[in-house]
Amino acid sequence: MASDDEPQDDEFDMDADSDQDLFPKATDDFLGSSGEEEEDEDLEEDDSDDVDDSDNDNMSAGPLDEKKARKIEARRAKQEALAEAELKDAALQTNIAGEDGERFELPDEEANEDELLGDITKVNHRIKEIVNVLNDFKNLRQPDRSRQDYVDRLLKDICHYYGYSAFLAEKLFNLFPVAESIEFFEANEVPRPVTIRANTLRTRRRDLAQALINRGVNLDPLGKWTKVGLQVFDSSVPIGATPEYLAGHYMLQAASSFLPVMALAPQPNERVLDMASAPGGKTTYIAALQKNTGTVFANDANKDRLKSLTANIHRMGVKNAVVCNYDGREFPKVIGGFDRVLLDAPCSGTGVISKDPSVKVNKTDKDFIDIPRLQKELLLCAIDSVDAKSKTGGYIVYSTCSVTVDENEAVVDYALKKRPNVKLVSTTLDFGREGFPSYRGKSFHPSVKLTRRFYPHVHNMDGFFVAKFKKLSNKWDEAKDKPEAASDDVDMEQEDQEEDQTTFNDDEDAALIQESKVKLLKKRKGIKVKGSSA
């Protein structure tokens, strides 16, 4: 279970010295300074001199021309300074007053709610105005209104405009600064990019890209953070029914679901458990990284989902998978001693609202009690299923497609308290935001900052959370006697996470994909491509 801004030059920027010269003059002018009036008179005299001199241009000497040019330049500079000051003042007044020239005022508490919400355009405008006020509350507030008054009105408008329940709107709103919360709600209204993962058990990304381009698929490498991802922009053929798809050359897979497998970093010949594996995107990725060696146990508690899981395993050419159907809480009683365990836990789905808008209204306070309870139980079982003495592993990755703290940092913090024989280590993901070490008055273990959060409005992928644990001992009471071991921040994992460099080269892949596009374009226009048969 889906974004790098560059500063833009401002053509109206002036250097610091120029600012210091201009603003005092503008202030004096607004105050009616007599000194400034004297300067105006001098300039008027200069103007008359200029007119007189203009009749005698042919007789004017060089120095006189220079003097006149300096006077004109000085007058122009002063006019520009005054104009700039007026623009700045006008902008300030607009910011304070609002677009319509009047200061924004909250509706009265007695106002009819149906009338307030009747015009969706006005609701959207009011959201922007309230965000503007909250960002500069001291200067823009109404004297008789509190910050909470503005927040309450904003939440009502968010519920109506975006279609959330009051409970969930407030829960998600509290995760971000005010302006960013609106960006998050907006991002949930837009579908995430279509992404596919090249299956390295059957092909190479560059070969797959070229084959799909030839079929009329417009695509590019997903990003430098992945060596197997491709983003599809548009396609003249169904992307889920091409010969390459049916042959298992790629998996239709959300970009965010690459992340937990990348963090897990399974190695060849290891025993790996995917605790909640259907429909198989992560399981088949694990098998590909293992190069079909070792064993990956693909477990899912929902028997109905095993059909799609098994179908994808066969289609993708996976030969080292064992499909099983247990409640995850039965591990390690059923089987244990794994080198690595991936728990992509059942969650509320608050990170994938763009895919499932029903989440906006069908989640209640009870859900955020029951779901985290299940997640905590599963995570403890995942930890207990790993062999701390594994020569290459001893790792657990916990992930969710939710952005709420209840399902993420709070669950991780609980596991650290209940299992002192584990510690958090780096996810090795070089992007994403740090987890919250504290939230709304509740503090978590400091190492929670090692977890990673992903947001649709920031990373252009589904909202996601990833945490990685290292198990230090198979007996938690032994680790309890050695607290210094559990608090060690040094990640002892020494493993080669680089994939086959001859197979994956991001820059080279991008160049080859672009070359394929050019060749296809020339072919369609009837231009003979060098090296092709006549």
Strand order through the sheet with 217-221? 217-221, 229-235, 194-198, 250-252
The verdict on whether residue 280 carries a ligand-binding annotation is yes
Q: Which residue spans within 345-463 are E strands per DSSP?
A: 395-400, 422-425, 433-434, 438-439, 442-443, 452-454
The verdict on whether residue 278 carries a ligand-binding annotation is yes
> Are the C-beta atoms of 465 and 403 separated by less than 8 Å?
yes
The verdict on whether residue 26 carries a ligand-binding annotation is no
Q: CB under 8 Å to 480, separation ≥6 — which residues?
A: 420, 421
Q: How do beta strands 217-221 and 340-344 pair?
A: unpaired
Residue 137: both structure tokens together: 């509350």
Q: DSSP letter at 423? A: E
The verdict on whether residue 311 carries a ligand-binding annotation is no
Spatial CA neighbour of 162 closest among 405, 403, 354: 354
CA distance 285 to 10: 46
The verdict on whether residue 279 carries a ligand-binding annotation is yes
Q: CB under 8 Å to 98, separation ≥6 — which residues?
A: 104, 129, 132
Q: DSSP letter at 503? A: T
The verdict on whether residue 327 carries a ligand-binding annotation is yes
Residue 347: both structure tokens together: 């969650």
Other beta carbons within 10 Å of 440 = 8
Query: Which residues are catalytic, by number?
Result: 401
Q: How do beta strands 250-252 and 217-221 pair?
A: unpaired
The verdict on whether residue 42 carries a ligand-binding annotation is no
The verdict on whether residue 303 carries a ligand-binding annotation is no
Which residues partner with 274 through β-bridges?
298, 342
CA distance 338 to 80: 73
> At how many degrees (to 10) do helices 16-31 and 34-54 cross?
110
For the chain, the distance separating the N- and C-terminal CA atoms, rounded to the nearest angstrom, is 49
The verdict on whether residue 122 carries a ligand-binding annotation is no
Amino acid sitting at position 197: R
The verdict on whether residue 191 carries a ligand-binding annotation is no
Residues of each annotated binding site:
276-282, 300, 327, 344
Residues of each annotated binding site for S-adenosyl-L-methionine:
276-282, 300, 327, 344
